[in-house]
A and B are shown apart, each in its own frame.
Chain A
């Protein structure tokens, strides 16, 4: 093995750069997970044969109605998310439990959105036959990626102050667009039915 005798001496192993490595990982892992989630959902929705149907909830006339209402519940809790986030950051007067409110309204919104997404992906799949449907498919996949990134970023330390509000705002905006392209469309097309 030839060694360049003129090479600058270097301790072995090289010392990890003081802040760079964890810093990169802090962003890289959430970003990669987010990309994997979004792309994974999209690929599943595109390749899997849409089942067309899935089981329904009692009392509702159609899965469209069930999903629209669940999505509206999720959107309602997302609005609480927005308000409670301003409280947590002190931009709005809020109670001491506003952080807890933010955490739990977010959990509820996410868990309510999951069965909707499962039905979308299982029964309908990733579709592009109209502008509304195309955006809904794209943003639906993007949302769960962005949400995963937000959750993982919460665990990281020493983030720039603007990052969490930015990602949170992104998640909220995307959910709003998803709701507009699905539930609002459904209610306008079929009426506000159960």
Chain B
């Protein structure tokens, strides 16, 4: 007797797969963070006892913590800045498109302001200005920059790719500005150079003949 069970199993898997595929293809909401996001610094698990003795502060009239991605240029037009915010955490990328770049991260304070730090003493501070803008300063690579950046609409945003090509560790960062212009740097084993453009819809780009995918950055 022929057993139908295995066939039904295969059929169920096929239908389930097609169902998931249509769900993916039809839901336009892209709320997902990439697996290549920055690792958030390890949270110290030992609770500090001093916090318990703190008197409860009067319920703060906290402005809604900003979320989403902000992109724009520095006031001197030399570089691009992008900040991605979610759940009280922020990741920022500063990039001149040639050889100056920095990834910074940190927490969002209750009043919505950010104070982010990156490698080599890089610092970025920003405060929200209205609902749609962040205004701030960046100090890195010996320069001082000021910027006002706007809330980004897709495909404008912040993208990152980590990969290995021909044994070299590749890290790419891209800021897609409103209007579609891209500012990005690819570092090969730490050596920066201008990045090839990515397809902002898919994040696909080609580095040294190797196709790789940049993902939207979320904290």
Contact = CB atoms under 8 A, between A and B. Distances in A.
Contacts, number: 107
B202 A62 contact: no
14 contacts: A51-B24, A51-B202, A52-B30, A52-B203, A55-B24, A114-B17, A117-B17, A118-B17, A124-B213, A125-B213, A152-B6, A154-B5, A155-B2, A155-B6
A123 B5 CA distance: 31
Interface residues of A, number: 38
A154 B2 CA distance: 9
A76 B34 CA distance: 25
A119 B9 contact: no
A61 interface: yes
Interface of A: 49-56, 61-64, 103, 106-107, 110-111, 114-115, 117-119, 122-125, 127, 129-130, 148, 150-152, 154-155, 186, 189-190
Contacts of A49: 199, 201-202, 204
A115 B18 CA distance: 9
Contacts of B52: none
Contacts of A110: 9, 13
B10 A129 contact: no
B17 A52 contact: no
B6 A53 contact: no
A52 B216 contact: yes
B191 interface: no
B150 to A, nearest CB: 22
B215 A53 contact: yes
